Each structure stands twice: as structure tokens, then as C-alpha cells.
Amino acid sequence: MSLGYAEKLSFIEDVGQVGMAEFFDPSHVLQCKIEELAKMIQKSKHLVVFTGAGISTSCGIPDFRGPKGIWTLQREGKDLPKASLPFHRAMPSMTHMALVELERAGILKFVISQNVDGLHLRSGIPREKLSELHGDSFMEMCPSCGAEYLRDFEVETIGLKETSRKCSNAKCGAKLKDTVLDWEDALPPKEIDPAEKHCKIADLVLCLGTSLQITPACNLPLKCLRGGGKIVIVNLQKTPKDKKADVVIHGFVDKVVAGVMETLNMQIPPYVRIDLFQIILNQSLSRDERYINWTLRVASVHGLTSQLPFIGSVEVSFSDNHNFKDAVLDEQPFIIKRRTTETETFDIFLKINYSEGCDCLSTKITIPFKYEVSTEEHEEETIDKEAVLQSLREKAVEESSCGQSGVVERRFVSEPRSETIVYATVTNLRTFHCQQSVLANGDLRWKMEGSGTTSRKRSRTGKRKPRA
């Protein structure tokens, strides 16, 4: 897993308490607490969930202050955790997807996250019901018009700095900035204000996988107390807010949440990741007008200069009626150029080979080639993008496999002739199963399966200081 975020942060001597001991409730106590939490959620009218790094450790993302956390290992002079897969390929956990189901059911009203991994958005939590207090490593924002851009690659900077891209709004065009805060950055009002609002009216704030050491973020759950709300903390380590909580659960977050969902008789939905790429076919007459020069490019939908992190190579071949040589494009940008006569028609076959972290190996696509003179300057085919995406999700789950693809956008330009086709492709599928079994001593054990086809103290006004 990429540790770029931790490495990009400015240096600070004191990052708070690290290496904290972990505690585990006995299985029968854990089960009683799970059932109590399920009843509290069932009765709640305004549930808010507050999440920390502990909900993403099962995704392969290390935490910061645990026994093997980033800050803990750094202080001990040890090597940082090794990457288990590229950061941009991390998939939401069982907990992430359970929260999605609770939101869809109308039970969960708002999510407040201290994480920068972007997994809440990827899981399907609506943006308007999410505050990412410390930013998102995969999000860029336009400081002029406020537009947000969720990327499939990790943005190269942190600290609200300008990136190499511009706002795609034709009326704007301002330089974009990253959204991840550095130590000296204040919490943005866009994130902290709705978080405060929802905590004040919450009757239950559920804190998952957080040591509650970062201020002012760690004080947000306490705002529900004045209105009679309750706090539940699920974390392996003790926290400074435990005395304020009605229930403190020491156990793995996934295990606790799986138990709650089972008690509530609610299913945890599968996670289907869909990535987008575009194929651009440009055609032009040669100077003597005897040939058609054409260029085919497989590119990111985030701009021609952006990398495609989930594609490793592209194999190009042609239909039998043509004698073009096959090609393997193994370096980005993925571009192939050829020349043909004006009357020739043939098919271009592309085998898109996916990179590490994708469950499927490849997808095959056919591009018909035919030179035509259009009478329209610009044409755009009407496609119901959401319907295509939903169909791909349903098919992936039904077939228990990935690799399915579909066209979600098609644009034509007549002069110079260009056709752009945007494809959506299923690159990852993960389903979740929970089973409860009784041990010989009467205790309960949860068996959880996730299957696929393959802290800081932050000041709202400025400088952040770790808690003593």
C-alpha cells in the first residue's frame, strides 16, 4: 500500500500517543455489546458515524498509532509497512459496505471521516452525506468554482497545492488544487460545518476505528451529548473519550459491524469497482489525398496527460482482411499510428491488459474502422450512462466475475475527423458473507469472508498540535 500521504506530510516531532496496547472483549461480552449496539441503531432517528484509520486496515492500509502503525514504527526506527497492493486499488471493507446499506435504508444520516483514502466515496456513500475532514488523496477541487474531481489515481501533492490539471468547466479553467490537509492547514468549512450540524442533532454517534486524538475532529462526537444523544466507540485501543461513551467495544471493527448487520437482519452489499477509459480514433487525409492517416489512443478520461494506473498494456490486432502488423503497447501513452486507403474497412481488436490490483486479467474490445465524411461538425450519441453502469454491476454480481465492459459515452468531430468512445469496465468485485456459529463453551464466533475474483491534532484556526 502506498504510504505517500505520510511521507508527504511536513515533519512534526510530536504526533501524539503511539504504540497503544490493544484490548479485546471476551467473546460473550462482545456479543452482548453487539446486540446492544444493534438495538441502539434500530431505535435511532439520526445516526451519525465517525470513522478513523481502523476501518481501513482490513483493506491493506496501515493505521498510524497502532502497534504496527506508521507513526509507531517511525518512532521505533523500524521500516514502514510494505505495500500489499497499489494504494489506488484498495477496495472498501465490509464496514464500508455495511455503512452503504445502512444509508440506503435511511438509518444512517451522515458519515464523518478522518481518512484520506477515499474509500467511503468509492463504496457508494453520497457526497452530500459525507464530510472528509482531512481531505481525499484522490480528489481535486477547483478553488474558483468549487467543482470536485474524483480521480482513479493518487493526486501528486498534499497541502492544498496546485496540481498539474485545470478545471474542465469551459467558463472557469482555473488551476485545480489537492484537498489533503498538511499539519498547518485548517479544517475547511465545507467539511467541518455539516459535520458539526449533524453531530449536534444526532441521537447516536458511532465512532469506528479511531483513537480520537485529533482535535477539533475528536470533539465532534461530543456535540451530540448536549441534545441527549449517545456515543458508542468501537476501537481496539482505549481513547480519551471512552468515559463519555455509553458503550465502548474493544474488537475488530469489521467483526462488530458484521454482527450488528446480522442482528438487524440486513445484508452487506457487494462492492463492484468500475473504471473508465477512453479510446480516441483520429483520421485525416494525406496531403496527396490518396491515404487515410489514423491514430488510435487509449487514454484516461481525466485528460490525455494523465496516467491510466489500472491498465498495464494494450495488445492491438486487426481483422483478417488487413495486413497490418500486430502491436503491443506496453508504455503509456498507449498510441498506435497507421495508414490505409480511403475505401478500406476493417476491425481493430484491442486486448486491454489490467495491472496489479485488478481482479480480472483483461478485456477485449472491437473498434470498426471506416472513413466517413460527416455533415455535422459535432455529434454526440445519447447514452444512458447510469443504466449502463447499473447493468454492469448487476451482471458482475450475477456472474460472480469481472471484466464486463460497456460504452457510456460516444462523441464525433467531423474536422479533423475524430471519434471518442468512453468505456466503463468492471475491474474488481468483492462480496461479503458473515456466519455466526456457537462454540463448545457456548461462546459465539463470527466467520467473516470477503471474496473477490482474484494521529494528529488539528486546529480549526491553523496549527495542529498533538495531544499530550
Which helix (H) or strand (E) segment is 41 a member of? helix 27-43
**Is 378 known to be catalytic?**
no
Whole-angstrom distance, CA of residue 279 vs CA of residue 277: 7
Distance CA 155, CA 139 (A): 7
CB 155 within 8 A of CB 125: no
Instruction: Tell me how far CA of residue 127 lies from CA of 136, 197, 205, 370, in angstroms.
Output: 12, 16, 19, 42
CA distances in angstroms from 216 to 232, 241, 347, 433, 457, listed in the order given = 19, 13, 59, 37, 7
Q: CB-based burial of residue 400 (10 Å sphere; 0-12 exposed, 13-18 middle, 19+ buried)?
A: exposed
- Number of other residues whose CB lies within 10 A of the CB of residue 441: 7
Which pairing describes strands 291-299 and 334-341: parallel, antiparallel, or unpaired? antiparallel
Residue 373: CB atoms within 10 A of its CB come to: 9
Cell of 61: 492500509
DSSP of 170-210, one letter per residue? Answer: TTT-PEEEE----TTPPPPHHHHHHHHHHHHH-SEEEEES-
Annotated catalytic residue, options 46, 88, 120, 134: 134
CA-to-CA distance for 457 and 455, rounded, in angstroms?
7
- Please indicate if the annotation marks 145 as binding a ligand: yes
172 is in an annotated binding site: yes
Rounded to the nearest 10 degrees, what angle do helices 253-263 and 94-104 cross at?
30
In DSSP terms, which residues pair with 341 in a beta bridge? Answer: 291
C-alpha distances out from residue 326 to 195, 316, 323, 424, 442, Å: 55, 6, 9, 25, 65
Cell numbers standing for residue 25: 472483549
402 is in an annotated binding site: no
Measured CA to CA, the distance from residue 192 to residue 199 in angstroms comes to: 11
Q: Are 72 and 65 in contact (CB under 8 A)?
A: yes
358 known member of a binding site: no
Residues placed in the known binding site for Zn(2+): 142, 145, 167, 172
Active centre residues (catalytic): 134
Residues placed in the known binding site: 142, 145, 167, 172
